[in-house]
Amino acid sequence: MRLLPRSAFGQTVFLIGFLLLINQLMSYLSVAFYVIKPSTQQINHLIAKQIKVVFIDSNQTEPLLSSELTERFQHVTGIEVYSEAQALQKGLAQAIYYKYFSDLMSRELGGAAEVRVAQGDSYAFWVQPPQAPNYWIKVPLTGLDETDFSPLTFYLLIIGVLSVVGGWLFARQLNRPLKSLQQAALQVGRGEFPPPLAENKGSTEVIAVTKAFNYMARGIQQLEQDRALLMAGVSHDLRTPLTRIRLASEMMQEPDNWIRDGIVSDIEDMNAIIDQFIDYLRHHKEEPGQKESLNTLVHELVQAEHLQQRSITTELMDDLPKVTLRRVAMKRVLNNLLENGLRYSDGDITISTGFERNRKRVYLQVRDHGPGIPEEQMKAMFEPFTQGDVARGSGGSGLGLAIIKKIVDMHHGDITLHNHAFGGLVVTVYLPLR
């Protein structure tokens, strides 16, 4: 079980809270040993002096309960002397015994003394002195009551809360540039290029990392633009001679039709490969996202493929939640999945949709009835120019699943492959609701 948090924000708050706890403990011990303890000793010393006054005569073994001097003394000081039976009636039974005060009082009075403290509307010390073990002396403490400690408790509580809140705000401010850096890095990983991050926020180390990230992002963006420009130029330069070759092939004599048909077929394959290269470089970033149901896209795709001599079965969930998606890009995903299923299998194609409520995401599933893909090859199928030729035995550029993966990543989704238990490959695309 891991006790320490993993994030830098959590670790910073934990460190501040831990240091605050140590500070509070040290403050408590300091107050206890250097304020409370001397105060209690002083109170006990003063009470002991007052009790000695009751027994001012060194030969006296009982307090003067009936003398006029004792009555006047009780009236002026508030100190009362009771027998044990009277003391029990006056509240001695509710008083709490304190060994610490009893030991101090025993040293002050020179014998075994017992001290109890009564807590009511006001504090009172009950002392059983060694000079008169059968009597109890009640010494009121009118200047000390329970509410006097509330300001100190409130102060310590406020200091603790303010320290934790201040530490939380400090850690949040410190980690905010890192959060922005994380979000920007995820965008770059999906092929998007956010505006440059502010290079004047955070500590010097964070600023240095931000500057390096902005420099890296600009380099990747420039490399992406150069690659797209190069591919556009190559595709344009290739299409021109391919068009001339096709025109020349159309002029061939009738006996050479088989040669002409082969040339036209090769040209169409080359054009299709060029189109796939362009699709791989294009991320549909300019297309705005919109709320759409996958069921709608599946209906449109199935209607467009009605001329196929193959059965396409749909198992669509009713009231499927809508998700934010780029419509053209997602239709390209569906179209590529269906084309792969038609190309690599001979049986029916099944398209289904559903909703995972606990993970808050919808899914689209395309299943064919072909030979499937070996398990050891599945991870590599999303890499560009990778084909499952051994299992599925067909040509192509090997960019189909790579294009699908890029578009799904752009939608913050996920895609998985697995072989069905009764044969065929199942491709599942997951899209989050948010």
Verify that 118 and 233 share a domain, yes or no: no
Backbone angles phi, psi at 140, to 5 degrees: -75, 145
| Identity of the residue numbered 172 | R
Residue 123 has pLDDT above 80, yes or no: no
Average pLDDT, the chain: 77
Are 349 and 312 within 8 A, CB to CB?
Answer: yes
Is residue 99 in some structural domain?
A: yes
The predicted structure's pLDDT at residue 326: 86
The predicted structure's pLDDT at residue 84: 81
Verify that 128 and 254 share a domain, yes or no: no
The predicted structure's pLDDT at residue 427: 92
Residue 364 has pLDDT above 90, yes or no: yes
Question: Which residues, including other chains, have CB under 8 Å from residue 9's CB and lie 6 or more apart?
Answer: 171, 172, 174, 175
CATH number (domain holding residue 370): 3.30.565.10
- More confident call, 319 vs 51: 319
Verify that 334 and 418 share a domain, yes or no: yes
Verify that 337 and 377 share a domain, yes or no: yes
Is residue 101 in some structural domain?
A: yes
Cα angle for residues 223, 225, 231 (degrees, 5° grid): 100
Are 78 and 64 within 8 A, CB to CB?
Answer: no
Is residue 385 in some structural domain?
A: yes
The predicted structure's pLDDT at residue 279: 66
Verify that 195 and 135 share a domain, yes or no: no
Residue with tokens 């329970």: 146
Are 381 and 403 within 8 A, CB to CB?
Answer: no
Write down which residue in 225, 256, 282 finishes a domain: 282
Res. 390 pLDDT band, cuts 50 70 90? very low
pLDDT digits (tens, 9 = 90+) for 232-245: 777 767 777 878 78
3-state secondary structure 139-172: EEECCCCHHHHHHHHHHHHHHHHHHHHHHHHHHH
- More confident call, 283 vs 344: 344
Number of domains the chain is built from: 3
Average pLDDT over residues 316-345: 86
Verify that 330 and 230 share a domain, yes or no: no
Res. 281 pLDDT band, cuts 50 70 90? low
The predicted structure's pLDDT at residue 353: 93
Verify that 50 and 134 share a domain, yes or no: yes
CATH number (domain holding residue 201): 1.10.287.130
Is residue 92 in some structural domain?
A: yes
Write down which residue in 260, 282, 304 finishes a domain: 282
pTM value?
Answer: 0.50
Residue 340 has pLDDT above 80, yes or no: yes
The predicted structure's pLDDT at residue 203: 72
- More confident call, 199 vs 360: 360
Average pLDDT over residues 339-362: 87
DSSP structure string for 249-306: HHTS-GGGHHHHHHHHHHHHHHHHHHHHHHHHH---TTSPPEEE-HHHHHHHHHHHTT
Res. 286 pLDDT band, cuts 50 70 90? low
DSSP, collapsed to helix, strand or coil, labels residue 134 as coil
Is residue 376 in some structural domain?
A: yes
The predicted structure's pLDDT at residue 387: 60
Average pLDDT over residues 333-353: 86
Tell me the range of 31-40, 203-212, 278-287 where mean pLDDT is highest. Answer: 203-212
Is residue 155 in some structural domain?
A: no
The predicted structure's pLDDT at residue 48: 80
Q: At 105, list the tokens.
A: 């009082």
Closest-CA residue to 381 (of 413, 410, 416): 416
Is residue 109 in some structural domain?
A: yes
Verify that 307 and 268 share a domain, yes or no: no
Q: State how beta strands 312-315 and 114-119 pair.
A: unpaired
Give, in order, the Cα–Cα distances in Å from 71 to each of 61, 95, 125, 389.
18, 24, 19, 115
Average pLDDT over residues 197-226: 83
Q: At 71, list the tokens.
A: 């009555």
The predicted structure's pLDDT at residue 430: 94
Average pLDDT over residues 303-325: 80
The predicted structure's pLDDT at residue 121: 66
The predicted structure's pLDDT at residue 17: 75
Domain span at residue 261? 181-282
Tell me the range of 109-113, 242-246, 278-282, 301-305 where mean pLDDT is highest. Answer: 109-113
Write down which residue in 126, 144, 162 finishes a domain: 144
Verify that 303 and 216 share a domain, yes or no: no
Are 137 and 126 within 8 A, CB to CB?
Answer: yes
Verify that 245 and 335 share a domain, yes or no: no
Is residue 194 in some structural domain?
A: yes
Verify that 301 and 232 share a domain, yes or no: no
Verify that 424 and 294 share a domain, yes or no: yes
